[in-house]
Amino acid sequence: MYEGPLQDVIDEFSRLPGVGPKSAQRIAFHLLQADPRDVDRLASALNRLQQGVHFCRICNNISSEDVCRICADSSRDATTVCVVEESKDIQVIERTGEYKGRYHVLGGALDPLNGVGPKELNVTTLVQRIGGRVDDVPSADGTLPEPPVIGEVIIATDPNTEGEATASYLGRLLKDFPGLTVSRLASGIPMGGDLEFVDELTLSRAFEGRTPVR
């Protein structure tokens, strides 16, 4: 244990996900020996993180404006919404270049043991979007266009216990919307993987999502 501010910094870094005590100690000592200007830039960036980051009022993605760039992009397919747990998941999907629709960020997944229920997630706004009461980005002349008719909701929550529970809940919640297709992002055996190392949930999903051999 160190004394004073050094130990305080180590303790704070240790609270971050994926940072253990030894890593926190290395970071703290690096900052202690770093150029003061570098430390000031880091401190300034952390302050701006709380003050300058906003969430899109439509999809809840991280944004510097009231509406994020994806929701404001008229070239995106407004009739398809991909539901993800966190904003970071959007970046993963965008890197594939395959998806051209819009998104909806839940802000987590159902986890009753830790007190996370539907009310703690952005579920209500998703239902409102499907009802056409949120996607009202003004056009260039300032007028509001007719809200798009959402034809498909793609559920892309994580393939774990919480993600599967969230997907099942959303499927039940949205199944009665007329004309709406609710799909689940397929998952299965990873390329280059060995069957003996695949977990039961992944293997079950692979069987459910099997496709014909052409």
**HSE-CB for 163 with a 13 A CA cutoff:** 17
**Is the predicted pLDDT of residue 136 greater than 90, yes or no?**
no
> What value does the mean pLDDT of the chain take?
86
Please tell me whether residues 26 and 83 are part of one structural domain. Answer: no
Pairing state of beta strands 54-55 and 62-63? antiparallel
Cα–Cα distance measured from residue 43 to residue 36, given in angstroms and rounded to the nearest whole number: 10
**Nearest-CA neighbor of 157 among 84, 82, 59?**
84
97 SS3 class: coil
Q: Show the domain range for 128.
A: 77-188+196-207
Determine, yes or no, domain membership for 64.
no
Tens digits of residue pLDDT in 191-211:
777 777 777 777 787 777 776
The better pLDDT of the pair 171, 65 is held by 171
- The number of domains in the chain is 2
Place of tokens 């995106």: 76
Quote the pTM value. 0.75
Please tell me whether residues 103 and 178 are part of one structural domain. Answer: yes
Determine, yes or no, domain membership for 69.
no
Please tell me whether residues 122 and 170 are part of one structural domain. Answer: yes
Determine, yes or no, domain membership for 165.
yes
Please tell me whether residues 48 and 153 are part of one structural domain. Answer: no
Please tell me whether residues 28 and 85 are part of one structural domain. Answer: no
Q: How far is CA 89 from CA 18, 84, 94, 153, 156, in A?
A: 18, 6, 9, 16, 9
* 3-state SS record for 124-187: HHHHHHHCCCCCCCCCCCCCCCCCCCCCEEEECCCCCHHHHHHHHHHHHHHCCCCCCEEEECCC
Please tell me whether residues 122 and 155 are part of one structural domain. Answer: yes
Please tell me whether residues 104 and 163 are part of one structural domain. Answer: yes
Please tell me whether residues 48 and 85 are part of one structural domain. Answer: no
Cα–Cα distance measured from residue 125 to residue 135, given in angstroms and rounded to the nearest whole number: 10
Residue 27: per-residue pLDDT: 93
Determine, yes or no, domain membership for 61.
no
Determine, yes or no, domain membership for 212.
no
Residue 211: per-residue pLDDT: 66
Which of 3-12, 20-29, 137-146 shows the lowest per-residue confidence on average (mean pLDDT)?
A: 137-146
**Is the predicted pLDDT of residue 79 greater than 70, yes or no?**
yes
The CATH number of residue 30's host domain is: 1.10.8.420
Please tell me whether residues 37 and 137 are part of one structural domain. Answer: no
Please tell me whether residues 85 and 170 are part of one structural domain. Answer: yes
